[in-house]
A and B are shown apart, each in its own frame.
Chain A
Amino acid sequence: MDTDGLIKALSADAGQAKPAMGRVLLAVSVLAIVAAATVFAVTIGPRPDIAAAAETVRFLFKFVVTALLAVTAASALTALSRPQDAGPWRLIGLTVAPVLLLAAIAGELATVPAGEWSARLVGTNSLACTTLIPLMGIAPLALFIAALRYGAPSRPALAGAIAGLAAGGISATLYAAHCTDDSPLFVATWYTLAIAILTAAGALGGRAFARW
């Protein structure tokens, strides 16, 4: 087939274009939140003392950092779902949540006696945290990878990893309502590990399914 023939075939198939990438990613993000929230509601649910916890800064801060991660990762994902090289500056937003968490760690170390640091870091829910966040993130990650497959990422593995971060952000935001460990030391250790699992899975998924 020569190129002119190909152009004839392609232009004959102009038709109506498929829904724009940005819209699809937005719809997929909503679906991902609904899917993870449904799993959360029918399985673990919020902690019993959530009303009292909601009056403490440490509890509320968990949502700030995890929700920020979800938003910044989803925004980076929008850029990475298109073929143009996103460039490092498109990923700069991803530093917001970690920087905030580092500041919170500094605050925690300054206000809590050194003798309590390790107990707060280890907490009581580390196993639940590192299991439940990846599990609740599976559906969002699958949805984001499907969205990348619909898109045209020039770096499928990187885009997949960021999809894992976004899924992890959503899942961790929900899990934070369940978990009774609120110290930034706990969050920085176990949430990070749990989200890293999803990020690695996302990189593999992106490489396997988002090539085009």
Chain B
Amino acid sequence: MDEAELARLMRAALAGDDKAYAGFLVAAAGLVRAFARRRTGQGGIDPEDIVQETLLAVHVKRHTWKPDAMVTPWLYAIARYKLIDSYRRRGRRIDVEIDEIAETLAAPEPDRVSDREIGKALDLLAPGQRSVVSAISVEGRSIGETAANLGMSETAVRVALHRGLAVIAKRFGRG
């Protein structure tokens, strides 16, 4: 998928097209995965955590993209920030070019298992938000199905999802 197509999807997403948005996010995840794999090496950072943190940041900061600008530089800038942030949260100072990180800072971190940072962040949510977010993300339900299953209105499901994602995203800005 090329830049023009990605930018078209993102413009549609900003107008509220959730299918276009999903398409953009899948393609963006692929790009960021390759980016993060090249830069995490054998260091204690799981590239998939960078992918997920980047997607979350893309989501809550998508109003910082200018619809007449290229979208991939914006995406990579977010990925780069999240990668540096990820090293920072693990207590390592990063003052170097990003390409040097893998060589200079890679150090084994024994106890890291593959449960995703975001999965852990789910535990921070209020029970109502958590059940909505996990119904949609883990069980793959639609807004409508989730509303029916939980006995909530669709609006309430949308609000709980929105707030839950905002809480998870914020969790990564603090660290």
Could you tell me which residues of chain B, from 105 to 152, have a CB within 8 Å of some CB in chain A? 116, 118-119, 122, 133-134, 136-138, 140, 142-143
Please give me the residue from chain A that is nearest to B10 by CB atom: A17
* B51 on the A face (CB < 8 A): yes
- A15 to B163 CA separation, bound complex (whole angstroms): 13
Question: Of the 9-residue stretches A37-45, A79-87, A109-117, which lies at the interface with chain B?
Answer: A79-87
Please give me the residue from chain A that is nearest to B146 by CB atom: A12
Q: Distance (Å) between the CB of A211 and the closest chain B CB? A: 5
- Dominant SS at the B interface? helix
* B45 on the A face (CB < 8 A): no
The answer to whether A14 and B16 have CB atoms under 8 Å apart is yes
- Dominant SS at the A interface? loop
The answer to whether B136 and A7 have CB atoms under 8 Å apart is no
* B62 on the A face (CB < 8 A): yes
Contact of B81 among A2, A81, A154 (CB under 8 A): A154
Contact of B137 among A9, A14, A151, A212 (CB under 8 A): A9
A83 to chain B: which residues have CB within 8 Å?
61, 64, 74, 77-78, 81
Interchain pairs with CB closer than 8 A, number: 120
Q: Digit string of B147-175 for contact with A (CB within 8 Å is 1, else 0)?
A: 00000000000100110010000000110
Could you tell me which residues of chain A, from 1 to 31, have a CB within 8 Å of some CB in chain B? 1-3, 5-22, 24
Q: Distance (Å) between the CB of B59 and the closest chain A CB? A: 5
B142 to chain A: which residues have CB within 8 Å?
12
Contact A8 to B137, CB < 8 A, known contacts A83-B78, A152-B64:
yes
Please give me the residue from chain A that is nearest to B143 by CB atom: A12
B59 to chain A: which residues have CB within 8 Å?
10, 13
Contact A212 to B16, CB < 8 A, known contacts A11-B22, A11-B25, A15-B158:
no
Chain B contact residues, CB within 8 Å of chain A: 13-19, 21-22, 25-26, 29, 48, 51-52, 55-57, 59-66, 73-74, 77-78, 80-81, 85, 116, 118-119, 122, 133-134, 136-138, 140, 142-143, 158, 161-162, 165, 173-174
